Amino acid sequence: MTLVTPVPLAELTTMRVGGKPKTLNRCESTGELYEAVRESWDSEEKYHVLAGGSNTVFADDLSDMNIILVANRGIETISETEDQIVLRVQAGESWDEFVAWAVGQGYAGIEAMSGIPGSVGATPVQNVGAYGQEVSQVITQVEFLDRETGELATRPNGYFDFSYRDSALKRGRKGVIGWVEFRLQKLGGLSVPMASGQITNHVGAEYGSQLPLQQVRDVVLELRGSKGMVVSESDPDSVSCGSFFTNPVVSNSKALEFPEDIQKWSMDDQQSVKLSAGWLIENAGIPKGYSLPGSKAAVSSKHALAIINTGGATGAEIAELARFIQERVSSRWGMNLIPEPNLIGF
């Protein structure tokens, strides 16, 4: 481990809020990471494992918090055939850099998840996904240090019980991920069949088409950028943690209680529907660009599902706006929006 001088966590997160922690340990290998985590488990002091900082909102006072920074990098080929390749990717690798690399190599299966900020090791936690793809579709196994048992083991995909933006890791299974293995396809430079009408409609192709990998990546970056969902110094709407709430999933019968024009998507089980949280927010009377009086936290001007830091916002202001949105949506629609990012120190 490398004990570095603590800096405000606003400097290490895409939301740019968060105070200075008690300590900051930088771990550049899985061995260092597991050692730091085990020491934290044996201690009664507060700690948090931080990687890309894209899905975390920190409180302003973190003076009693020890931060373990995941910084192990590397991509290794484990096995390869004419049709497939299995890659072991260290937890500290940038997810979007890995996607860009895979697209450049001609490996398909994650191209529609371009532009998602954060680290590879964080992706299994909430089963990261976008535009019809999810990491659970390509993950083969994960090296996982289990807090309950203290066991370090390679766990298969099924161990994590993946579902929409969810996994056993979000539902109470505690531990830390050292690396993730992915099985990607070799399809002659083409994507897997597109499961997103947004992509195929954008390029005038049929749903389920296989498109050039780079074209898919470019389209996704364009679509995400139009919503402020690609981190960019030139886009103030990207100073966020992406979608702040998950889209609620309800039964088909429950969905009939909402207006016909609500944006929704059928789930694979054909028994339930995913409702647009952004639609619920805007139709609860909270428009894009909304902010509470005197606050520097605001709803993105491009996408109602994102909360942004307009410059100098505090963690408390971000949390206050999130609570306000939840209360308005609950009052208007009877739906409890669930925050997607980790809220630490509140």
Q: 108: helix, coil or strand?
A: strand
How far is Cα 284 from Cα 46, in angstroms, rounded to an integer?
A: 37
How far is Cα 123 from Cα 116, in angstroms, rounded to an integer?
A: 10
Vertex 35: Cα angle to 33 and 38 (nearest 5): 105
How far does Cα 190 stand from its chain's mean position? 25
Closest listed residue to residue 78, CA positions, set 8, 141, 167, 125: 141
Catalytic status, residue 317: no
How far is Cα 99 from Cα 192, in angstroms, rounded to an integer?
A: 14
How far is Cα 122 from Cα 128, in angstroms, rounded to an integer?
A: 8
Catalytic status, residue 80: no
Vertex 231: Cα angle to 168 and 129 (nearest 5): 30
How far is Cα 31 from Cα 128, in angstroms, rounded to an integer?
A: 25
Q: Which of 224, 243, 300, 317 is catalytic?
A: 243
Q: Which of 16, 88, 155, 165 is catalytic?
A: 165
Residue 319 neighbours by CB distance under 10 Å:
19
Check the CA dihedral 224-282-17-125 and report its sign: negative
Q: Which of 111, 181, 317, 340 is catalytic?
A: 340
List, in order, residues 6 or more apart from 149 with CB less than 8 Å away. none
Residue 149 neighbours by CB distance under 10 Å:
9
Active-site residue set: 165, 243, 340
